[in-house]
Chains A and B, each alone.
Chain A
Amino acid sequence: MFRNLITTGVAAAVGAAAAIGVPAMGQAPQPSQPAATRPAPVRPAAYNPPRLADGHPDLNGIWQALNEANYDIEAHNARPALALRTGPYGPVPATAVIALGAVGSVPPGLGVVEGGELPYRPQALAQRKKNQEDWLTSDPEIKCYLPGVPRATYMPYPFQIIQSTKQIMMVFEFAGALRTIYMADQTEAPADSWMGWSNGRWEGETLIVDTTGFNDLSWFDRAGNFHSDALHVVERYSLVDPDHINYTVTIEDPKVFTRPWNMNMVLYRHKEKNFQLYEYECYGFDFENIYPYPDLGAAR
């Protein structure tokens, strides 16, 4: 028991480190620091997570990212509005969103992309600029379309990992999106789709999900970052303590990017008592009140 307590303590410390912005765990120590004064490297604690009957780590739970990646996956300043137009001295809010004021502004973010700017091909960079300029009519999130992967994971809403010994699924509040992670009977994607076709496997304590078969319609964020139908996403989910998942994503899309690149962030477990997903069926907002018929209220 005593030994377990110590292990838990180490795990909590690692989790805290991950939580306060040391995303790339196991990164080499800063070379500028003289070796003699460098603190002894903290070995990544081999966290021993709770397991299902099949011996694999139990990822069941309701999770959520706590970052501003859905606004812009890259590091960014706060911006006055989601949709901007050219003003006399710089960008100002587009007319359609002025009234939202600070509520419609963009909070700053550390970014979740590793290694600096996204490696866009020149033509794709021009497309991103166009996406930003046409954001109000172009972002699929505005239309409540399925968010794609990995955007679904870091939208600012909860999602649930449903893991039995036979099956893993991920269900999302936003737009009722869901993913089936095929752990057995794996096949190639039968057709292109918004959420892709996901095959999963365990590598030690890490769940690796390999997803292909995307269409070219979803985006990465509200800043116009996008992909083509050549998108290939590899995600790694590792519990670093009972309530934190270290989440790393490798994005490969040779039509849009010159090389693969990574995102890294922490997913946090919802601990509220009796927490559960609600519905965020935003596509129905325009017409849901006319069912079962428009004036049912009058019948009561």
Chain B
Amino acid sequence: MNTKNLIIAFGIGIALSLTTAPLQGQGQGGAANRPAAAKPWPPQKLSDGQPDVQGIWAAVNGGSTSLTNPISGGEDFDRRVTGENIRRPSRVIDPPDGLLPYQPWAAARQKRQESDYEHPSKPEHIDTQHRCLISGIPRLYTIVPSFRIIQIPGSVVFVWDEYHAYRVIPLDGRPHIAPNVKLWIGDARGHWEGNTLVVDTTNLRGARLTYIGDFFSENAHVTERMTFVDADNMTYQATVDDPTVFTRPWTFRIGHRRRPDDETWESACWEGNPDPDVWLKK
């Protein structure tokens, strides 16, 4: 490859990461300042034809605060201390206004849960993460801890070591499990479209999505697209279709990046969790 082609390829790379992963690089100097990818790209093919994307990954700006104003934990602290109204671009890319398209009753419910979260007086006002319940799909892709991708013949496996959460995604097109079975992690069936892993997730339990009380019901159907845009970047996009809670399907997007140096330790959250009373304001 001559120099001119290299420059063009680099330019296309930047353009791609800008168009497909708008959140990546925020506050981190942007794509242009990142070192050149060390891993081979396009990815090598595994024995069953999957692109090899194994390794440790994490959301670029992780956190459970909010999807529509995804401020970091530090910013949340600043906001509480200073009273300053810090805004970050919504992760919701559809609808275009960046808001969750709740039905009126559900919008009122979310507002109440946000207020309850600030002033908890009952156990159900405490977010599921603090109760040590497993965060399900798609919330696990929005949080801080890194996860590991392992690919075995016929499946892609995601493991959040710290939360001892895992999801095995079969690629063989097998049918979904019985509809009465509800799982926090859902029932995932996947296939590869080039370097994009497309996952169809059903059998979800109704769950909280954020600290501020966003939620969906057990009728939610989630379609995920994980696009590996280069050796070190992945764009996670999930479309939530839940006619019980929302007026229309909606989609959010979060950039993920390789974090090869992350260490993953057991968190044993439940084993050390205090009685919820310690958080309640009574």
Contact = CB atoms under 8 A, between A and B. Distances in A.
A52 B154 CA distance: 13
B177 A177 contact: no
B270 interface: yes
A190 interface: yes
A114 B47 CA distance: 40
A292 B134 contact: no
B164 A177 contact: yes
B277 to A, nearest CB: 13
Contacts of A12: none
Nearest to A60: B152
B271 interface: yes
Given A169-B157, A176-B166, A293-B109, A279 B183 contact: yes
A274 B133 contact: no
B206 A195 contact: no
Interface residues of B, number: 52
Interface of A: 52-53, 60, 143-146, 160, 162-164, 166-167, 169, 171, 175-178, 180, 190-191, 193-195, 217, 274, 276-279, 281, 283-284, 287-288, 290-294, 296, 299-300
Interface in B167-185: 168, 170, 174-175, 177, 181, 183-185
Interface in B224-244: 244
Contacts of B159: 162, 169, 171, 178, 180
27 contacts: A145-B268, A146-B268, A162-B150, A162-B157, A162-B159, A163-B152, A164-B152, A166-B54, A169-B150, A169-B166, A171-B168, A176-B134, A190-B263, A190-B265, A191-B265, A274-B174, A276-B170, A276-B177, A279-B183, A281-B133, A281-B134, A291-B124, A292-B207, A292-B216, A294-B124, A299-B106, A299-B217
A69 B216 CA distance: 41
Contact of A284 (B133, B153, B216, B217): B133
Contacts of A191: 265
Contact of A279 (B105, B124, B184): B184
A145 B183 contact: no
Interface of B: 46-47, 54, 105-106, 109, 113, 123-124, 128, 131-134, 148, 150-153, 157, 159, 161, 164-166, 168, 170, 174-175, 177, 181, 183-185, 205-208, 215-219, 244, 263-266, 268, 270-271, 276
Contact of B206 (A52, A60, A277, A292): A292
Contacts of A169: 148, 150, 157, 159, 166
A277 B123 contact: no
A291 B208 contact: yes
A176 B166 CA distance: 8
B268 A194 contact: yes
